[in-house]
Amino acid sequence: MTIAASLIEEIIATHFDPHAGSAYWLEREKQLGLDAKKEITSCEAFHLLGPMDPEALRTRPLLDFIPKRFHHELPSMILAETGGTTGAPIRRVYRPSEFSAAFVDSWKRAADLRDFPRSGNWLFVGPSGPHVIGQSARAMARSLGSLEPFSVDCDVRWIKRQGAGSLGFTLYLDHVLDQALNVLRTQNIEVLFITPPLLLALADRMTAEERQCIRGIHLGGMALTAADSETIRHRLFPQAVVLPGYGNSLLGVLFEHAPPLPGESPTYVVDDPALWLQLVSWQAKAPEQAPDLTVTLNPGQRGRVVAHRLDASFLLLNMVERDTACYALSTDEGNNRAITAVAPILPMITGKSEGVY
């Protein structure tokens, strides 16, 4: 699923307005000698702006990316920040309606399709501020009629600095899991929002009876492998509706609409009108090399994820991600609406370990 021409026209006009647009994009337009409002009229033209510069996102003032016409709305905007897996954090904002579209609306559609449990107590094990995922966890739980989640905070940047299996890693993991078990054993928890490695570690410390009480699990933050998917769904938590998602703080989240067949990886459906995930060819031996943005791969071909999100408050085009994936085969709504077999490009991971979130 690509982005409608009408939305592209609206968002490009907003960010490239010479008087009320965003400073970063106006500078980029001048550097490239483009007339964005005339030339960027479809997804096929996004490549004309070149890859998004992650260093600019990391180092430039946030206001440079927000159109001037919306600066008066800053008190109502939601600030999001990445976990720093591939380097220093990147920040962006969402207007409330954009935040809902990116993190909640697709969730509610997927939850309805999967008959995800409603009204029960949630436990969220993951980062709170400055990461937007904590805010989305609260909104997701409330959207299904639940109290905001009980929570255990994770300092994802600290855990990424610890070598896998090191004393620091082990002590921090014990600290997080002890807190999670305290909530599980004092509150009536029915839903978990957690990463795959944290869930596997937590399951080892739960009794079979405690695992049977979990009716819903949302997995996020890290890629879910086919093997872990089967272990979690069929051996550890057979009574739970397991609904994984793929995304990040910058782009929002897309969700699984149907469980995978045995041995298959989860498939994530793009049903957000402002989001397009493009898969392009890449060099495994040189992941730092800019990919060719002009060619979109076909279903079944593995490619580098390039993300595009068009919001009035913040424009992300040609954001080259740290993951590879394949377009899922589709017979009902076109080819480019779902991705599967998501895997991180490990040389892109900075620090001593990928961590647990």
What pLDDT shows up at residue 266? Answer: 95
Question: Is 208 part of a structural domain of the chain?
Answer: yes
Question: Is 328 part of a structural domain of the chain?
Answer: no
Question: Is 134 part of a structural domain of the chain?
Answer: yes
Mean local confidence (pLDDT), 166-186: 93
Whether the bond into 196 is cis, omega within 30 of 0 = no
Beta-sheet strands, E only, within 101-188: 121-126, 150-153
What pLDDT shows up at residue 331? Answer: 43
Express each pLDDT in 83-128 by its tens digit. Answer: 776 678 899 999 999 999 999 999 999 999 999 999 999 999 998 8
Question: Is 214 part of a structural domain of the chain?
Answer: yes
Question: Is 201 part of a structural domain of the chain?
Answer: yes
pLDDT at 335 over 50: no
What pLDDT shows up at residue 307? Answer: 97
Mean local confidence (pLDDT), 239-251: 96
The number of domains in the chain is 1
User: CA 42, CA 4: separation in Å to the nearest integer?
Assistant: 8
Q: What CA dihedral angle connects 41, 42, 45 and 51, to 10 degrees? A: 110
CATH number at residue 181: 3.40.50.12780
Mean local confidence (pLDDT), 291-307: 92
Question: Is 129 part of a structural domain of the chain?
Answer: yes
Confirm whether pTM is higher than 0.95: no
CB burial readout 329-355, b (16+ within 10 A) else e: eeeeeebbbbbbbbebbeeeeebeebb
User: CA 25, CA 80: separation in Å to the nearest integer?
Assistant: 20
Q: Domain range for residue 167? A: 98-264
- Which residues, other chains included, contact 50 with Cβ-Cβ below 8 Å and sequence gap of 6+? 32, 293, 318
pLDDT at 351 over 60: no
For the beta carbon of residue 182, count every other beta carbon within 10 angstroms.
12
Question: Is 248 part of a structural domain of the chain?
Answer: yes
Of the candidates 32, 33, 85, 36, the one whose C-alpha atom is nearest the C-alpha of residue 58 is 85
Question: Is 243 part of a structural domain of the chain?
Answer: yes
Region of poorest pLDDT, from 155-159, 306-310, 314-318, 335-339: 335-339
